[in-house]
Chains A and B, each alone.
Chain A
């Protein structure tokens, strides 16, 4: 079974609008972390935001926020005021437990295109 599911292969958004990228996860662990990464065409994966399973508040980092719904096992990324430079692939990822050797598992990604 997939640990991370991103159901939107591609998304379009108008510049300056907000967009939500979906992510659901599957784990039986109580302790886990959720991450979002951005991959522009240059190839580098850029860390955006982190949410711990015990964090009560939704994580925010500038224009990025994570809509964490634990009971639904969803961790959607919200990008506010989209910019042309936001066009990229976006990957949701999860680490189960807090051990240093537990690998990060990625979803298949969503390609976001921001149009002027």
Chain B
């Protein structure tokens, strides 16, 4: 079993749908992240839950809503998305508070918005 598991692997949704992405980590980490990876752009950090604090990128539209019920689970709720939101969404986790803190990533959810 991989350390960070994301489901689903692929998702196609219409602009009026509501869906959720799920991430689970089995590494005993205390920080979880959502990143967006679009073609030819750097990875964009969307949300961080670290040491029970939520940190977010203020440029992320409100149609993306994260939820972190505990240190092992992270969700990204999606509603009324736009075609430009089509991208690979990567979840990551880490052990926060260490200087060489490494991120461990899941395989991502490839999202297509029609």
A11 within 8 A of B: no
Q: Which residues of B contact A100 (CB under 8 A)?
A: 31, 50-51, 96-98, 101
Kindly supply a per-residue 1/0 record for chain A positions 24-45, scoring 1 wherever the CB is within 8 Å of any chain B CB and 0 otherwise: 0000000101010100001111
Kindly supply a per-residue 1/0 record for chain B positions 66-108, scoring 1 wherever the CB is within 8 Å of any chain A CB and 0 otherwise: 0000000000000000000000101010001111111111111
Kindly supply a per-residue 1/0 record for chain A positions 57-81, scoring 1 wherever the CB is within 8 Å of any chain B CB and 0 otherwise: 0000000000000000000000000
Q: Which residues of B contact A35 (CB under 8 A)?
A: 102-103
Cβ-closest chain A residue relative to B41:
A108
In whole angstroms, what is the CA distance A52 to B100 when docked? 7
Are B100 and A50 touching (Cβ within 8 A)?
A: yes
B43 within 8 A of A: yes
Q: Which residues of B contact A91 (CB under 8 A)?
A: 43
Q: Which residues of A contact B104 (CB under 8 A)?
A: 47
Are A44 and B96 touching (Cβ within 8 A)?
A: no
Are A104 and B103 touching (Cβ within 8 A)?
A: yes
Q: Which residues of B contact A108 (CB under 8 A)?
A: 40-42
Q: Which residues of A contact B45 (CB under 8 A)?
A: 103-105
Q: Which residues of A contact B107 (CB under 8 A)?
A: 42-44
Q: Within A91-116, which residues are at the interface with B (CB < 8 Å)? A: 91, 95, 98, 100-101, 103-109
Besides A31-B99, A108-B42, 19 more A-B contacts (Cβ < 8 Å) are A4-B42, A33-B99, A33-B101, A43-B107, A43-B108, A44-B105, A44-B108, A46-B105, A47-B102, A50-B102, A52-B100, A98-B98, A100-B96, A100-B98, A101-B51, A103-B33, A104-B45, A104-B103, A108-B40
